[in-house]
Amino acid sequence: MAPDVIAPEGERYHDLSLWWNAIATPLPRRPPPAGDLVVDVCIVGAGFTGLWTAHALACADPSVRIAVVEKEVAGFGASGRNGGWCSALFATSDAALARLYGVDAMRGMRRAMQATVDVVGATARQEGIDCHFAKGGTVDAARSDAQRARALAEVDEARSLGFGADGLRWLDRVEAESMVGIDGIVGATFTPHCAALQPALLARGLAEAVERRGVTIYEHTPAIDVVPGGGGRGPVVRTTTGAIRADVVVRAVEAWTPTLPGHKRTLAPVYSLMVATEPLGDAFWEAAGLQGRATFADYRHMIIYGQRTADNRIAFGGRGAPYHFGSTVRPSFDGMPAVHQLLRQTLVDLFPALSSARFTHAWGGPLGIPRDWHSSVGFDRSSGIAWAGGYVGDGVATTNLAGRTLADLITGADSELTRLPWVNHRSPAWEPEPLRWLGVNAGLWTMRLADRTEERHGRPSRLAARMERLLGR
């Protein structure tokens, strides 16, 4: 039976992002549970991780009783606010994975991430989700000698690890300009393993898809504690309306993880902000390129990312917002006028023709960063607690891989996914405050300074190189 709808409440989510502005209202009404529940699997969080996990479990065994609890509404968090890059990027570099686990394990992780991009597109089609999926790849521009050196080093590293031009290749200036009309481009790298999509449409469509498969989603149901099982009893999720007992509880709240008791230092929530232009005309796109809706970035240290949307806007984002003391997550942090203005200026610097364009949207949200920059997925059968997260902003595809992996771990399937190197990885805890605040913001400051130094001197920043080594990347 289709859920009831609720109109006024749904409209307040429209300002969360450009993507949410396209979500039709009224939203389906998914009320909290009326009291205590008993299920087989309880998933905390109705973002991509939770929804992909529910989807994979329901597909694997339709008899499993699955409940998803969400503090707000499905897709409220990063899943409905990100840059829409469904990419094979993984938080930990290939070189670091090879050092930690060996070359074969690293290559298995890379192949799994590349395949996942196509799995997301295929599943969206199968479930009838029109999320504007377009696999145009990613072009990363080099706009200085320092950036060019960094780009070429990345290509060399890929070759040394056994990856050919079909995974990552260098574009000279002429070929780079034919793909993207970024001002001052001297070359670029290109990978085909990325698709642009509309993330809120995917998240909302995925929520409807799992409901069709028998999963129950309880919105406006904050989880105030996750109690591990043991001694013959299963884990419990305590919510504001009652307790949910299950054989397995999946923690899938990413940047909101520090709001759960005992997890203040598990992940550091760091904000990424975005802006979007009005729909742009044919004259602009004739010069700007991005045919096939390739996503774009460049080789500066302070991360930026952009896409050409299906309605011919540019949605553009980047880091730069500070980490907030105590791993605090608040709606007031979603918008920082100074950072949004810097993003507009950066985009105009990349595409000077946008100087007269109107910017229509500005938004933001937190992403989760583990202490060792290493995403993880795992399941502790003794406590009944499973988890996934720490995507460092690369979660649109990684969450799908996480969901399928969790389904195999929970059902006991012996698969290639359960043998990937990120399975059951445990990141160290972040330092207590104020060391955490000092360290995270010092890292942001260092990358900003490194970009300024390279602009002045034209040489790769030694400071940034030391920071990369410190992070183990």
pLDDT tens per residue, range 168-183: 999 999 999 999 999 9
Residues 249 and 376 reside in one and the same domain: yes
The DSSP-derived string for 50-99 is: HHHHHHHHHHH-TTS-EEEE-SS-TT-SGGGTS--EEE---SS-HHHHHH
407-466 pLDDT, tens digit per residue, is 999 999 999 999 999 999 999 999 999 999 999 998 888 877 877 777 776 667 666 566
Of 282, 309, 274, 281, nearest to 295 (Cα)? 309
> Tell me, what CATH number does 76's domain have?
3.50.50.60
Number of structural domains the chain divides into? 2
pLDDT tens digits along 202-252 = 999 999 999 999 999 999 999 999 999 998 899 999 999 999 999 999 999
In a domain, 400, yes or no: yes
In a domain, 377, yes or no: yes
Q: Contact at 8 Å (CB) between 296 and 190? A: no
Same domain, 290 and 365: yes
**In-domain check, residue 112:** no
**Residue 286 pLDDT more than 90?**
yes
Q: For residue range 350-397, what is the model confidence (pLDDT) as tens digits?
A: 999 999 999 999 999 999 999 999 999 999 999 999 999 999 999 999
Length of the chain, please?
A: 473
Q: Please give the C-alpha separations between residue 118 and each of 86, 87, 124, 149, 300, in angstroms, as whole numbers.
A: 9, 10, 10, 31, 28
Whether residue 234 is found in the same domain as residue 349: no
Is the domain of 9 the same as that of 22?
A: yes
| 352 and 388 inside one domain | no
Q: What is the mean pLDDT of the chain?
A: 93
Q: How far is CA 175 from the centre of its chain?
A: 29
> Per the confidence metrics, is the pTM higher than 0.85?
yes
DSSP structure class, residue 116: H
- pLDDT over 90 percentage in the chain: 87
Q: Which two tokens stand for residue 437?
A: 């605040």
Is the pLDDT at 467 greater than 80? The verdict is no
| pLDDT of the residue at 7 | 39
pLDDT higher at 131 or 26:
131
Asked whether the predicted pLDDT for residue 11 surpasses 70, the reply is no
Q: In CATH, what number is assigned to the domain containing residue 277? A: 3.30.9
Q: Which domain holds residue 342?
A: 268-369+433-471
β-pair type (66-69, 216-218): parallel
Both 285 and 404 in one domain: the answer is no
Cβ–Cβ under 8 Å, residues 221 and 239: yes
